[in-house]
Amino acid sequence: MATDQSKEIETLVRARYPIVYIVSWEEDRVDACLREVARRRRKRLFQWTTTNGLVEYDSRRPRQESCEPLNALDEVFASADAAIFVFKDFHPFLKDSTVVRKLRDLTYALKRSYKTLIILSPILELPPELQKDITVVDYRLPTMEEIGRQLDACVESVADDDRVDGSLTPEQHEHIVKAARGLTAIEVDNVLAKSLVERGCFDVDVILSEKEQIIRKSGILEYFRAEERFADIGGLDALKNWLRKRNDAFTERAREYGLPQPKGIMLLGVQGCGKSLTAKAVASLYRLPLLRLDVGRVFSGIIGSSEQRMRHAIQIADSIAPTVLWIDEIDKALSGTHSSTFSDAGTTSRVFATFVTWMQEKESAVFVVATANDVTNLPPELLRKGRFDEIFFVDLPSAEEREEIFRIHLAKRKRDPAEFATRELALACPGFSGAEIEQALISAMYDAFVEEREVETADVVRAIRETVPLSVTMREEIQWLRHWSETRARLASSKVTEELAGGDEGAAEARDVSETAETGE
Ligand code: ATP
**CB-ligand 1 contact for 439 (6 Å cutoff):** no
CB-ligand 1 contact for 26 (6 Å cutoff): no
CATH superfamily of domain region 4-138: P-loop containing nucleotide triphosphate hydrolases (3.40.50.300)
- Across 170-190, average pLDDT: 88
The pLDDT tens digits of the residues spanning 107-144 come to 988 988 899 999 999 888 788 888 888 998 989 888 88
Express each pLDDT in 38-69 by its tens digit.
999 999 999 999 999 999 998 878 888 888 99
- Going by pLDDT thresholds of 50, 70 and 90, the confidence category of residue 375 is confident
| Averaged pLDDT for residues 401-406 | 96
Which of 438, 467, 481 maximizes ligand 1 atoms within 8 Å of its Cβ, making it the mutation to test the pocket?
A: 438
Ligand 1 proximity of 234 Cβ (cutoff 6 Å): yes
Task: Find the mean pLDDT for residues 431-449.
Answer: 96
For every residue of 325-375, which 3-state class applies, written as one string? EEECCHHHHHHHHCCCCCCCHHHHHHHHHHHHHHHHHCCCCEEEEEEECCC
Say yes or no: CB of residue 273 within 6 Å of ligand 1.
Answer: yes
d(CA 122, CA 88): 9
Look at residue 460 and tell me whether its pLDDT is greater than 60. yes
pLDDT of residue 329: 87
CA angle 99–103–107, rounded 5-degree value: 175
Q: Is residue 273 a contact partner of residue 435, using CB atoms and an 8 Å limit?
A: yes
- How many angstroms is it from 465 CA to the middle of ligand 1? 20
Ligand 1 neighbour 441 (Cβ under 6 A): no
Q: How far is the centre of ligand 1, averaged over its atoms, from the C-alpha of 505 (Å)? A: 26
Asked if 4-138 and 230-394 have one fold, the answer is yes
Q: Please give the CATH number for the structural domain made up of 230-394.
A: 3.40.50.300
Q: Of 46, 51, 45, 44, nearest to 69 (Cα)?
A: 51
In short, whether 243's Cβ falls inside 6 Å of ligand 1 is no
CA-nearest residue, atom 31 of ligand 1: 434
Q: Which CATH architecture has domain 399-519?
A: Orthogonal Bundle (1.10)
Name the residue among 69, 70, 61, 59 with its Cα closest to residue 90. Answer: 69
SS3 state at 43? coil
Amino acid type, 198 = E
What is the biggest distance separating any 2 CA atoms in the chain, rounded to whole angstroms? 95
User: Could you tell me the distance, in angstroms and rounded to a whole number, from the CA of residue 386 to the centre of ligand 1?
Assistant: 28
Pocket of ligand 1 contains residue 405 by CB under 6 Å:
yes
Question: How far from each other are the two terminal CA atoms of the chain, in whole angstroms?
Answer: 78
The pTM assigned to this predicted structure is: 0.77
Question: Which atom of ligand 1 lies closest to the CA of 228?
Answer: 18
Q: What is the pLDDT of residue 297?
A: 76
Residue 409 has pLDDT above 70, yes or no: yes
Q: Which of 332, 514, 369, 494 is nearest to 432 (CA)?
A: 514
Which atom of ligand 1 is the closest one to the Cα of 373?
Answer: 2
How far is the CA of 466 from the CAs of 373, 430, 460, 461, in angstroms? 25, 14, 10, 9
CA 393 to centroid of ligand 1, rounded, Å: 14
What are 273-319's pLDDT values in tens digits?
Answer: 999 999 999 998 888 889 999 887 777 655 457 777 888 888 888 88
Q: 228 in ligand 1 pocket by Cβ < 6 Å? A: no
Highest mean pLDDT among 1-5, 309-313, 472-476: 472-476
Domain ranges of the chain: 4-138, 144-217, 230-394, 399-519
Using CA positions, which residue lies closest to atom 18 of ligand 1? Answer: 277
Hey, which of 27-31, 78-82, 513-517 has the most confident mean pLDDT? 27-31
Residue 45 phi/psi, 5-degree rounding, is: -125, 120
Q: Specify the pLDDT at position 268.
A: 93
Instruction: Report the percentage of the chain scoring pLDDT > 90.
Output: 46
**Does ligand 1 lie within 6 Å of residue 280's CB atom?**
no
pLDDT in tens, 63-88: 888 889 999 999 999 988 899 999 99
Separation CA 396–CA 393 (nearest Å): 10
Task: Give SS3 for 382.
Answer: helix
Q: Is the pLDDT of residue 225 over 80?
A: no
- Judged by DSSP in three states, 267 sits in strand
**Residue with CA at minimum distance from ligand 1 atom 2:** 271
Please state the rounded mean pLDDT for residues 147-170: 87
Query: Does 436 contact ligand 1 (Cβ within 6 A)?
Result: no
Mean pLDDT of all residues belonging to the chain: 86
Ligand 1 centre distance from Cα of residue 272 (Å): 4
Model confidence at 517, pLDDT cuts 50, 70, 90, reads very low
SS3 string of 104-173? Answer: HHHHHHHHCCCEEEEEEECCCCCCHHHCCCEEEEECCCCCHHHHHHHHHHHHHHCCCCCCCECCCCHHHH
Does 330 sit in the ligand 1 pocket, CB within 6 Å? no
Ligand 1 midpoint to CA 438 (Å) = 9
pLDDT score at 336: 55
Element (H or E) spanning 249, and its range? none
Residue 434 Cβ inside 6 Å of ligand 1? The answer reads: yes
d(CA 413, CA 411): 5
pLDDT in tens, 329-364: 888 776 655 544 444 557 777 788 888 888 888 888
The response to whether residue 276 sits with its C-beta less than 6 Å from ligand 1 reads yes
Q: Which residues contact 78 (CB under 8 A, 6 or more apart)?
A: none
Cβ–ligand 1 contact at 481 (below 6 Å): no
Any atom of ligand 1 within 6 Å of the Cβ of 435 = yes
Q: What would the pLDDT profile of 233-254 be if each residue is shown by its tens digit?
A: 999 999 999 999 998 888 878 8
292 touches ligand 1 (CB under 6 Å): no
Q: Is residue 81 within 8 Å of residue 115, measured between CB atoms?
A: yes
